[in-house]
Chain A
Amino acid sequence: MSVLEVSHITKTFGSKHVLSDVNLTFEEGKIYGLLGRNGAGKSTLLSIMTNRIFAGEGEVKIDSENVDDNDAKLGLMYLMSEVNLYADGWKLKQIIKDSESFYGSFNHELADRLITEFGLDINQKFGKLSTGYNSIFKLILALCLPVKFVLLDEPVLGLDANHRELFYSELIQSYSDNPRTFIISTHLIEEVANIISDVIVLDQGRVILNQPVEDVLAKTHSVVGPEKDVDQYTQGLNVIGHDNMGSIRANYVYGDLDDRILPDTVQLSNFDLQKLFIYLTNQYEGSAHHEDK
């Protein structure tokens, strides 16, 4: 079992701290969701992990070995991102060939099926691809190369709803056939919420959440009822947001409820990952109030 470790990664661009002491461990065979608002540092982190840019401090290791300039270890990862590594004039077939020789093999059978399913014209030049097909082509590479860690930065960028559906299904099929680690960075939280096993939230360059999704959701509680009763019940709990509808109030709690007594007028339920994300990453903006959508 391979383990990908990120320790004490710090990165500054000029005077701006993009990443501050980021520590993460990625285990083989899990699907991680890497979530964060724009500018939270997700793409920078993924680029550092794959040696595309360098960290100011800290290191990235696979099985205790530093990945810097280490082709054997870098060959265990593939990062699909908006940044294009290929020249516009290159033919898709040539890119596949080159990738195959760097990574050692390529799953042509799967690639052929995906090419047909997505309707990709493989005889094109890379620069001629639309945004959607640019993503699709890079996703096909990501799924067909023999890597242990597949890093996907905004994988469905430019894909229509049908192609997004198809991609998620193929991702699961590929993962079932060949369990390996996926790290998916996305803004479309609802679409991946049930696919990921673990969730990592970056906020302003810091890791503010890093846990199995199931554990995280078990700690979300929406407490709804008359304002006075709700506020009294949630006193001393970690209230991260609230909604008001007339005199009815919903307080959103993240954390364990102690065995305090629930008044008859108050109802408890869980809330979802997207809502949790919004409240957790919004706390510095001075407003805890949000509409549902």
Chain B
Amino acid sequence: MMKFEFNSSEPIYRQVAEQIEDAVASGGFEEGQQIPSTTEISKEFHINPATVLKGMNIVVAKNLIEKRRGLGMFVQQGARQRILEEKRNSFFEEFVVNLVREARNLDISEDELLELVKRGYKR
């Protein structure tokens, strides 16, 4: 399910979009399954319905969820794979760059960092 912990550093509509995508990526919302309505999300998390709709529309525009008239929003087939691909594409910028920056701050050398990554895989 969605966790929806909101922070103040990013617009709420974008966080709504990201959290829906995260829930699809993690299998919380399965392909073909109906997701909560705008009103349900608004009510649960006390967010303006127009803001939630704006977030949902981002996910609709990426063909990850679709509106079925009179029924609600459903996760599209293949959505999970497409989200994972997008996340892989941004993995370097979002995680690796930060990892290396933090390693530099801590005086961890490239070799030491690579060792640590290997250790991470063994856990």
The answer to whether the Cβ of A195 comes within 8 Å of any Cβ in the partner chain is yes
Residues in A with CB closer than 8 Å to B47 are 194-195
- Chain B at the A interface: SS class: helix
Binds B, one of A67-75, A100-108, A121-129, A267-275: A267-275
- Docked complex Cα distance between A31 and B50 (Å): 10
- Docked complex Cα distance between A168 and B43 (Å): 7
The answer to whether the Cβ of B9 comes within 8 Å of any Cβ in the partner chain is yes
Interface residues of A in 153-194 (CB under 8 A from B): 168-169, 172-173, 175-176, 191-192, 194
The answer to whether the Cβ of A218 comes within 8 Å of any Cβ in the partner chain is yes
Residues in A with CB closer than 8 Å to B49 are 172, 175-176
- Chain A at the B interface: SS class: helix
Q: How far is the CB of A111 from chain B (nearest CB, A)?
A: 19
Name the one of B8, B10, B12, B46 contacting A172, with C-beta atoms under 8 angstroms: B46
Residues in B with CB closer than 8 Å to A194 are 6, 12, 45-48, 51
Q: Chain B, interface size: which category?
A: 10 to 19
Write out, one digit per residue, whether chain B residues 18-44 have a CB within 8 A of any chain A CB (1) or not (0).
000000000000000000001100111
The answer to whether the Cβ of B78 comes within 8 Å of any Cβ in the partner chain is no
Q: How far is the CB of B56 from chain A (nearest CB, A)?
A: 14
The answer to whether the Cβ of B72 comes within 8 Å of any Cβ in the partner chain is no
Write out, one digit per residue, whether chain A residues 192-205 have a CB within 8 A of any chain B CB (1) or not (0).
10111100000000
Which residues of B come within 8 Å of A, CB atoms?
A: 6, 8-13, 38-39, 42-51
Q: Other than the known A31-B48, A217-B11, what 6 A-B pairs have Cβ atoms closer than 8 Å?
A: A172-B42, A175-B49, A176-B38, A192-B46, A195-B46, A272-B8
